[in-house]
Structure 1
Amino acid sequence: MDPLEVRELRYFIAVAEELHFGRAAERVGIAQPPLSRAIQRLERRLGVTLLERSSRSVRLTTAGETLLDEGRTALAAMARAARSAQRAGEPEPRLIMAMKAAGDGGLLSELLATYRARYADVHVDVHICGPGEQASLLRDGHADVAFMHSPQRDFAGLDTVDLLVEHQVAVMPRHHRLAGRDRLSMADLAGETMPVWPGARSADAAGPRIRDTGQLAQLITWGHVVALLPESVRDHLPRSLVCTPVPDAPTTTLMLAWPAGSRSPKLAAFVHAATTVARRVKPVGSLDP
């Protein structure tokens, strides 16, 4: 069998993600009939059915789910290879670190200072991204390393190291009925509308989906949601919001992640600096109100 072409993978992934040929055709910039024919040719070449079609729906088969996962990985690897080659030709070495706003657990300033003390010639670019975007930025080569939080399901193709374990606080507007409490329990928050984070699998989640931290802060300020967030966000929130400890909430783990198998000395030094700084920092999670 001939190798799969990049165009074929892009077409299939568009259909598999949209589960609608019309929307997928618009997304890849071709008409629907040639897109349908391209998918049929791909199925004939592979000798398997990738999509089950009916007059009302499109559904992935087991073979289709496998190709979607592997295809995403393959396209990301190709993009990363191209960007790595471009970066290698840059006149000045640099490291790109991705993180969501206030997502460093208070480590960033000391980490950058520690790293510069050893690698003064390497410029570290800090890229602020939306929640859940770090993994894709690492896989496609737009970032070299990222702060991420667990529980998180999207670590395929990445290596990680744990840095800090944090307790969570409930973040709400000052006029909220629970805002005057010294601490809360998960039972106290039952019935509150919670935000839905990128990648969440709960099909019946009622809260709004979060695109960025600015949107989240506005939704909390307006009283639309109450959010459980790592305690280290306290210093980054507007004064219109209050943070109340929730001792029985699940803890979160701040992690450093990077593409699996990376052999970059400057990246290895950055990981070492991060773990060193994390050991020196006072553990987060005292749950003081």
Structure 2
Amino acid sequence: MLREIHCFTKVAERLSFSAAAADLGMSQPAMSQAITRLERATGSRMFERSAREVRLTAEGKALLAYAEQVIESVRAFEVEAARLARPTIHLAYPPLVGTLAARIVRRLAGRSPAIGVELRAAGRSAAARALADGEVSAAILATPAPAPFVTAARFHVTVDHLAVPAGHRLESRPKVTADELGGHVLLTPGTRPWPGLPGRSRLVADDDFAAALDLVAAGAGLLPIPQLLVRTVRRDDVRFVPLEAGDLRITYALAWSRERVTPELMALVQAVQDALWTR
């Protein structure tokens, strides 16, 4: 009866047996026969037909919403079945490089055969745990990655701004140099102080820049931050000042377990490398 229901919704949409038949690649007699079979099966007349027009009956109008739900459910079933049938890998990534993660997904979806990617935003510690436990196929991690993992496709994110609380004496400066940071507390997302910067370091959650900005706003410290993130942050209690501190950067790499190598994982490695080369 599914075919007949599909024919019913199409005739209801077009209010023309010939137009509906053309849309579905059927002959007009075949369309009429399908509607007749549906009417006999349901005991309801779906359409009023005349030489000049086709109209839904009261019964047809009442059943149309249910028919459309059936068709929509079938489409959803087909989409989900196709998704489940294709290979899928799980990738953990820090929110800072979300645009790169999105490009990777698009690249793998566009290849033949397509590979699905399930993304999981996670800081370094959480991503490393998920990778070790086999919950994700790979992770983009700040380097150095934990020893058990294989890494490739390294890339750098330049740290060229300083987040300061609104009203701080540095907020109006055209730029801040490394020498001016002595005596300040510098927030470090990760496990290591910023190399080459004076001042006292306070370590905060791995890759959790949002929480670190809350600490900046509270006056707990200053935060060296990439311009990549500056462009996405909108808040009134924090200001961003250009920072001139030499070659200050965060290095990331794609990491995976050597015991869980699959063809899909190798396709992911290639997609990451391609995405980094063609920005």
The bucket for the TM-score relative to the shorter chain is: 0.5 to 0.7
Corresponding residue to 2:151 among 132, 152, 160: 160
Kindly indicate whether the alpha-carbon contact (under 8 Å) linking 1:111 and 1:273 is maintained by their aligned counterparts in 2: yes
Q: 1:257 — aligned with what?
A: 255
What are the residue-to-residue correspondences of 1:57-76 with 2, within 5 Å?
A: none
Specify every segment of 5 or more residues in structure 1 that has no aligned partner in the other structure, as ranges: 1-89, 282-289
- Calculate percent identity across the aligned residue pairs: 18
Q: 1:276 — aligned with what?
A: 274
Superposition RMSD in Å: 2.8
- TM-score, with length taken from structure 1: 0.56
Q: 1:96 — aligned with what?
A: 90
1:114 Cα deviation from its structure 2 partner: 1.1
- TM-score, with length taken from structure 2: 0.58
Rounded to whole Å, the distance in 1 between the matches of 2:133 and 2:112 is 25
Corresponding residue to 2:222 among 226, 251, 276: 226
1:261 Cα deviation from its structure 2 partner: 4.8
Q: 2:211 — aligned with what?
A: 215
Kindly indicate whether the alpha-carbon contact (under 8 Å) linking 2:213 and 2:223 is maintained by their aligned counterparts in 1: no
3-state DSSP class of the match of 2:96? coil
Task: Name the CA shift for 1:237/1:119 in 2 (closer, same or farther; >3 Å).
Answer: farther
- Which of the two has greater strand per residue? 2
What are the residue-to-residue correspondences of 1:163-174 with 2, within 5 Å?
A: 163-168=154-159, 169-174=161-166
What are the residue-to-residue correspondences of 1:7-26 with 2, within 5 Å?
A: none
What are the residue-to-residue correspondences of 1:118-137 with 2, within 5 Å?
A: 118=111, 121-137=114-130
Larger Rg: 2
**2:182 aligned with 1:190:** yes
Corresponding residue to 2:141 among 139, 148, 154: 148
**2:105 aligned with 1:107:** no
3-state DSSP class of the match of 2:125? coil
Rounded to whole Å, the distance in 2 between the matches of 1:135 and 1:167 is 23
**2:233 aligned with 1:242:** no
3-state DSSP class of the match of 1:194? strand
Kindly indicate whether the alpha-carbon contact (under 8 Å) linking 1:170 and 1:246 is maintained by their aligned counterparts in 2: no
Task: Name the CA shift for 1:247/1:201 in 2 (closer, same or farther; >3 Å).
Answer: closer
Corresponding residue to 1:117 among 110, 123, 132: 110
- Which of the two has greater helix per residue? 2
Task: Name the CA shift for 1:166/1:101 in 2 (closer, same or farther; >3 Å).
Answer: closer
Task: Name the CA shift for 1:117/1:258 in 2 (closer, same or farther; >3 Å).
Answer: same
Kindly indicate whether the alpha-carbon contact (under 8 Å) linking 1:162 and 1:253 is maintained by their aligned counterparts in 2: no
Rounded to whole Å, the distance in 2 between the matches of 1:114 and 1:91 is 18
